[in-house]
Amino acid sequence: MSSVKFNQEIISKTEKNLFQKLVSEQSFWVTIALFGICFIMFFVEDAFSSKDNLFNITRNFSFIGIMAIGMTFVIITAGIDLSVGSIMGVTGVICGLFLDAQFLPEWYSKASYFEGVYVWVSIILALLAGTLIGAVNGYLIAYVKLSPFVVTLGMMAAARSLALVVSNNKMFYEFGPKDEMFYEIGGGSMLGLANATWLLIFLTIVMGLVLKYTSYGKHVFAVGSNKKAAELSGINTRWIEMSVYMISGLFAAISAVMIVGWMGSVTNALGYTYELRVIAATVIGGANLMGGVGGTFGAFIGAALMETIRNSLLMAGIDPYWQGTFLGIFIVGAVWLEKVKNKKN
């Protein structure tokens, strides 16, 4: 009888209700911080709450947020992808190159310019390129057993160099007779939100469901939590590791297509230093660099907090050079909060 009572006490201590689960999530506190900053800025600066400024904030963090979702999958497996900014750059250049058919053979121009087919061909090729680069990263990490840091650091340099080679150090801004269609994809809006923001919301929900409810998502968490145990349970850990880098490369390419469509031009400098912002958004959102912890909502809210801080600093008249300092404080604070939470658990 006493042992039964003891077991019931243990269960009551380990089980958490919905509120306890909510407050134990780092993304919850990041959301509170985000709303707190917005609340303060509403009173400090009237322009902050203007329709145009809120539109700009949501649009700007969408590009980082999309990439952060892909990074989340990598970090959950205890990996890291330092090449996402360079992947964005080279895939953006590839997209611009195929949109600007003056650099391509005449047969391509005549065949693909019919009814704007070339726009979709350019987008698909950019997405395939991002996925392929991610596959190279994943293969070297999962099958050749090289360090994720070293592999993606090397790819960061290689992809940036490739962007220079492909573009011949030129800017692409003439996107053919159907350029308005391409601009609408990346720079358009609907119901007061940019297309990029709607895409971010869609990807956050879909990939969140994949992580939570599919066997693939459970395998991703298993690899990050205990790779050896995952192997012993029959999970193809190598494929899981390789696939998350493919997802990261694909999402970097998606973000590249959207930002090129918004800007209306592309250079080989696209995505420069974005890897820091993407990793920061993911970590601030609650992903653990040791693996096994993370979620797409955290990536979303982490990117939103970073952009809101940047915008608030500008609105408050603070020197832009201080932005990196505030960002660094939030990164360290997020890691410290995760450590405190784990110690308490």
Element (H, E) at 190: strand 189-190
- Between CA 43 and CA 49 the distance in angstroms is 9
| pTM assigned to the model | 0.89
Q: Which of 45-49, 74-78, 166-170, 272-276 has the highest mean pLDDT?
A: 74-78
- Give the CA dihedral 153, 155, 161, 166, nearest 10 degrees: -160
Please name which of 269, 251, 247 lies closest in space to residue 159, comparing C-alpha atoms.
Answer: 269
pLDDT at 313: 84
Q: Kindly indicate the confidence band of residue 1, based on its pLDDT and cuts at 50, 70 and 90.
A: very low
Render pLDDT for 61-77 as a digit per residue (tens, 0 to 9): 999 999 999 999 999 99
CB atoms within 10 A of CB 225: 16
Find tokens 């609907």 and name the residue. Answer: 190
Q: Which CATH architecture has domain 53-344?
A: Orthogonal Bundle (1.10)
Please give the distance of CA 1 from its chain centroid, rounded to a whole number: 53
Residue 159 has pLDDT above 90, yes or no: yes
pLDDT at 18: 63
pLDDT at 201: 96
Query: How does DSSP classify residue 318?
Result: -
Mean of all residue pLDDT scores within the chain:
86
Helices 274-284 and 296-315 cross at an angle (nearest 10°) of 110
3-state helix, strand, coil in the chain (%, to 5): 80, 0, 20
- Between CA 103 and CA 300 the distance in angstroms is 37
**13 or 345: which leads in pLDDT:** 345
- Between CA 173 and CA 114 the distance in angstroms is 20
pLDDT at 11: 45
Helix, strand or coil, per DSSP, at residue 195: helix
Residue 6 has pLDDT above 50, yes or no: no
Residue 9 has pLDDT above 80, yes or no: no
**79 or 103: which leads in pLDDT:** 79
Render pLDDT for 216-265 as a digit per residue (tens, 0 to 9): 999 999 999 998 999 888 899 999 999 999 999 999 999 999 999 999 88
Residue 110 has pLDDT above 90, yes or no: no
pLDDT at 241: 95
- Between CA 236 and CA 230 the distance in angstroms is 8
Render pLDDT for 13-44 as a digit per residue (tens, 0 to 9): 455 666 666 666 777 778 888 888 888 888 88
pLDDT at 12: 47
Helices 237-263 and 179-187 cross at an angle (nearest 10°) of 120
Percent of the chain with pLDDT over 70: 86
User: If you write DSSP's letter for every residue of 38-85 in order, what string do you get?
Assistant: HHHHHHH-GGGGSHHHHHHHHHHHHHHHHHHHHHHHHHHTT---TTHH
Residue 2 has pLDDT above 60, yes or no: no
With beta carbons less than 8 A apart as the criterion, state whether 229 and 219 touch.
no
Both tokens of residue 234?
């029959």
Both tokens of residue 135?
């596959």
